[in-house]
Each structure stands twice: as structure tokens, then as C-alpha cells.
Amino acid sequence: MISTHLPILQVLVPLLAAPVLALLRGRTLSYLVATGFVVVAFLIAIGLTIQVVHTGAVSYAIGNWAPPLGIEYRIDELTVIMLLMVTGIASAVLIGGGQSIAVEIPERRAPLFFALFCLNVAGLIGMTVTGDVFNLFVFLEISSLSTYALVAMGRDRRALTAAYQYLVIGTVGATFYVIGVGLLYMMTGTLNMADLTARVSGVESTLTIKTALAFLFIGLGVKLGMMPVHFWLPNAYAQAPSTVSAFLAGTATKVAVYVMLRIVFGIFGIGIFTSSYLADVVIALGIFAMVAASVSAIFQSDAKRLLAYSSLAQIGYILFALGLATEAGLTAAILHLFNHGLMKATLFLALTAVALRLGRTRLEDFDGLAQAMPATMLAFAVAALSLVGVPLTIGFVSKWYLLAAAFDRDGVLVAAVILGSSLLALLYLWPLVERAYFRKRPAGAPEIEEAPLALILAMWALVAVNVFLGVNSQFTVNLAANAARHLIGAVP
């Protein structure tokens, strides 16, 4: 039965798409093929979700080598949330971004662009499903390397240096991760996550284990854009082709956070995390990012960079909730992980439309855009309000759980900081909305039309999900709460 092999197909479909695409010629053909593969991956993710919801976690042994010796793919609630998000946003970006890609990527590079895109998707999916820490490294590098190349395809020459910078920092981070894995292996003799969980508890007080945790934490911290090792992120998001920014902002950092959740809570367990002061460090870093990155965002003059800093701040929320190390905290972290990915992807897709029509995304370019591109700017406005945390959107649901988690452990002061930071979000997003809606297009500005239909549909599909889950959040909240319970209970 094909349904039993869905876990491996989930990775293989986009992975195999890459060589196929590299052999193709022509933009249209490669676009259609890539979109086809990614949409199939999305359908597989839906299939897996149905399986997990009905029968619980799915385990798949690669090549029939039983774990812990063989590599295991393991799919539970948390995994399917991530899979839905990665493949869903990838589909939305490809379906909606066709024209934007056509403008920003030269014809002869198009097949390679799509090949890299699919590789990236495959890498992120692999990181999500694998139950083996070294296999995870391989997928991490697959996604990272393809990201570097994708960022370098940006039109400005600064894209090259952004990609280079990202490559250097990213490689250092990934190597830190490998060191951590090595130390873990040294102490336990296994690479399987489930097996590690069982064996780490026997040696958890040793210095080596703590060192391993530190290396893994910093390595992943780089990947997920944790302040203060974040500086690759604003450049990369700002310089990458618009569609790539949209995809990365929605998925890449989120998957890294997911891996951190898996490793910190799944393998090491809460005991080490809280007793080693790491939890306090994470909380402090999270709060720092919430405030510092939001303030930085206020002073940006380019919308893409602004949103990149906003992402750093939102990662701060997630880290903070993660650092609380309570069930409520993890629920909030997982929820916000998902919700933020959705909101940011929408915002960046709207920017894709703006960049497509205007060629750039400086703040002053937004003047009067709402008249020229009403559907785009309305989607942007809804997503922006959601990011601020206005009720009836998923942003509000996230905020609610973040606050509840903060109250649960640290009390009012932190809750006030979180709310203050959402006000900062209002402060940096509002000028864009206001410019779009209440200013006139500058005199002599070229006539522009609304974004292409496919892009609008993609944006509004995300907005619809946003509002639907904002009004009726049972589905995501339950998944997140279940996932949090599993993580806390150290069930891998």
C-alpha cells in the first residue's frame, strides 16, 4: 500500500524533483514541473496528517532497517504541523509567485532556480521527519546550501554578499551542531532520537552532555535567527528574490525552531534544560529579541528588511515561550511557530506583489498603493493586524497563549513586555498600512495594476486560513497542546 510509504515519499518527491528539473530547459516547463511536485508533496502532507490524527504517530524504517540501527522517520502531531506549513507555504509561493520569478530570475537559470527550490523544500521536510540526529544534519545542509544559492540569485549584487555572509555563519552553526551530535554519540553510542532519549537520562549529569547541549543550542540558534547570532537574516531576507524571502520567512527559521524543540525537550528533557540555566538564558534572549528587534524594525526604510527584523522579534516570542519549559509555554511556542509562519508568508507574498509591480519595496513606495492594488494591500493589512495580535486572527490566538504561559510562570511583568512589544509591532507596521491607504500615489508615478490573479489567490488562501484558524482555533490549539504534552512527557 502506498499509504504506508507516505513518510519516505514526503521527502523523495521534492528531492527527486531537483535532478529532473536540473535536466529540463525552459521556464514554463520547469515551473509547471516544480509546482506539480511541490503540490504533490502538500497532498502527501495532508495524507500524513489524516493518518496521524486517526492512528497516532507513524514510524517508518528506511530500507526496512529497524531502528535504532537504521534511520527512522517519525511523524507525530508536531511533525504534521510543520509538514503542512512547509509544503503548504511552498505551494502557495510557487503557485502565486510564477510571474515574480519570471521577472526576477533570468530564463536560462530558471530550471536551476526551481531545482534549488525543490531541494530546499526536501531539506526542510527531511529535517522535520527524520528521527536520526545525523541524518538531520544532512538535511540541514541540503536546505542550507540550497538557500545560500537561492539568496545569491537576488537581482542586486548585494545578494551575493548576503549569501556569502549567510554561508559562513550558517556553516559555523551547522558544524557546531555536528560537534554536539558527536559528543552525544560519544556518551550514548546512538544517533536515533528515541534511543538517545532513553540513554541520555543515565548520563545527564556529566559535563560532556551539557557541552553537547550547548553546542547544539548555539548551532541551531544560528539557523533559527536567535539574537545575537542573527545578523545574516535581515540581509538574506532583504536581498533574496521576493518569492524566496516569502518561503524562507515562513518556513526555514521555523523548522530550525522545531528541531530545537525536538532536541532540547525530546532528547535532553526538561531536567537538564532548566537545571543548566539554559532555560533562563533562552528566556532572556527571547525578551531581548522581542524588544530590540522590534525597535530596529521601526527604523528600517525598506519593507523587506522591516519584516525581517519583525521576524527576529517574533522568534523572540517563540524562544521566550520555549524557555518557560512548561506545557503552556510549549503550546504557545508551537502555536506561534505555526501562526507566525503563516502571517509572515502572507506579508512577504504581498511584498512580492509590490516588488513585481514597482521593482522595489521601500516604505515610500507604498504611498497610495491601496488604490492601485486593493486586494494585495488588504491581504497585507489583515496579516499586519494579525501580527499585532488583533482579535479574530491567529495572531490573537498566539498572543493569548503566550500571555497565559507568561502568567503561568513569570507573572505580570513579562506579560506587559510582550504586550509592549506588540505595540511596537503596531508602530512599525502601521506606517505601511497608512501609506497604502491614506496617501496619494506620488505625482508622475507610473500606472500600475493589481498583482496577477494567481498571486492574489495564494495570498488570500493564506489570509483565509489565518482568519479561519483565528476564529476557530480548536484544530491548531489541540495539535499544539498534544505536541507540547508529548514533548514535556519526554515522549519522542
Partner 1 sequence: MEFPGLYNYWIAMVLMMMGLYIVITDPNMVKKIVGLSIFQVSVFVFYISMAKVRGGTAPILDDRFTVYSNPLPHVLILTAIVVGIATTALALALLVRIQAAFGTVDEEAIKALERET
Partner 2 sequence: MTLAPDQLLLWAFLTPIIVAVLVAVAGPWRNLRDAISVLGSLATFGFVAMLASEWEDKLVSRTIADFLPGLTLRFSLEPLGLLFAVIASTLWVLSTIYAIGYMRANEEHDQTRFFALFALAIAATLGIAFSGNLLTLFVFYETLTLVTFPLVTHAGTPEAMRAGRTYLGILLSTSILFFFLAMVWTYFEAGTLDFIKGGILNEETGPSVTLVLFLLYMFGIAKTALMPFHRWLPAAMVAPTPVSALLHAVAVVKAGVFAVVKVIVYVLGVERLAGVPGTAIVPVVAGFTIIAASLVALKQANLKRLLAYSTISQLSYVVLSATLLTPISIMGAVLHIAMHAVAKITLFFAAGAVYTAAHKSEIGELDGIGRRMPWTMGAFAVAALSMIGLPPTAGFVSKWVILKGAFDATAWCAVAVLVLSTVLNAAYFLPIVHRAFFRPLSAEAQAHPHGEAPFPSVLALTLTALLTLGLFFFPGEAMKIAEAVATGR
Among 115, 125, 167, 249, binds partner 1 (CB under 8 A): 167
Partner from partner 2, partner 1, none contacting 472, C-beta within 5 to 8 A by type: partner 2
- Cα 455 to Cα 357: distance, rounded to the nearest angstrom: 12
Q: How far is the CB of 415 from partner 2 (least distance, A)?
A: 6
Partner from partner 2, partner 1, none contacting 416, C-beta within 5 to 8 A by type: partner 2
- Spatial neighbors of 43 by CB under 8 A, at least 6 apart, are none
Q: What does R_g of the chain's alpha carbons equal in angstroms? A: 21
Count Cβ neighbours within 10 Å for each residue of 456-468 and write b for 16 or more, e otherwise: bebbbbbbebbee
What the block records as the C-alpha cell of 434 is 497608512
Q: Does 231 bind partner 1 (CB under 8 A)?
A: no
Tell me which stretch binds partner 1 (CB under 8 A): 77-85, 177-185, 258-266, 369-377: 177-185
- Spatial neighbors of 272 by CB under 8 A, at least 6 apart, are 200, 204, 209, 210, 213, 278
What are residue 75's phi and psi, to 5 degrees? -130, 115
Among 33, 75, 94, 152, binds partner 1 (CB under 8 A): 152
Contact characters 436-475, partner 2, x per CB under 8 A: -xx--------------------------------xxxx-
Residue 185 or 430 with smaller CB distance to partner 2: 430
Whether the Cβ atoms of residue 24 and residue 84 lie closer than 8 Å to each other: no
Q: Does 327 bind partner 2 (CB under 8 A)?
A: no
Cα–Cα separations (whole angstroms), residue 214 to 174, 225, 279, 320: 13, 16, 12, 17
Q: Does 390 bind partner 2 (CB under 8 A)?
A: yes
Q: How far is the CB of 194 from partner 1 (least distance, A)?
A: 17
Q: Does 394 bind partner 1 (CB under 8 A)?
A: no
Residue 410 or 450 with smaller CB distance to partner 2: 410
Q: Nearest CA to 365 among 347, 382, 379, 353?
A: 353
Q: Does 375 bind partner 2 (CB under 8 A)?
A: no
Whether the Cβ atoms of residue 129 and residue 79 lie closer than 8 Å to each other: yes
Tell me which stretch binds partner 2 (CB under 8 A): 21-29, 101-109, 187-195, 383-391: 383-391
Burial class for 228, CB neighbours closer than 10 Å (0-12, 13-18, 19+)? exposed
Neighbouring C-alpha atoms within 13 Å toward the C-beta of 4: 4
Q: How far is the CB of 301 from partner 1 (least distance, A)?
A: 14
Q: Does 477 bind partner 2 (CB under 8 A)?
A: yes
User: 132 - beta bridge partners?
Assistant: 192
Q: Does 63 bind partner 1 (CB under 8 A)?
A: no
Among 416, 445, 453, 491, binds partner 2 (CB under 8 A): 416
User: 484 - beta bridge partners?
Assistant: none
Tell me which stretch binds partner 1 (CB under 8 A): 52-60, 156-164, 334-342, 446-454: 156-164
Binders of partner 2: how many residues, by CB under 8 A?
33
The footprint of partner 1 (CB under 8 A) covers 134, 137-138, 141, 145, 148-149, 152, 157-158, 160-161, 163-164, 167-168, 171-172, 175, 178-179, 182, 185-186, 191
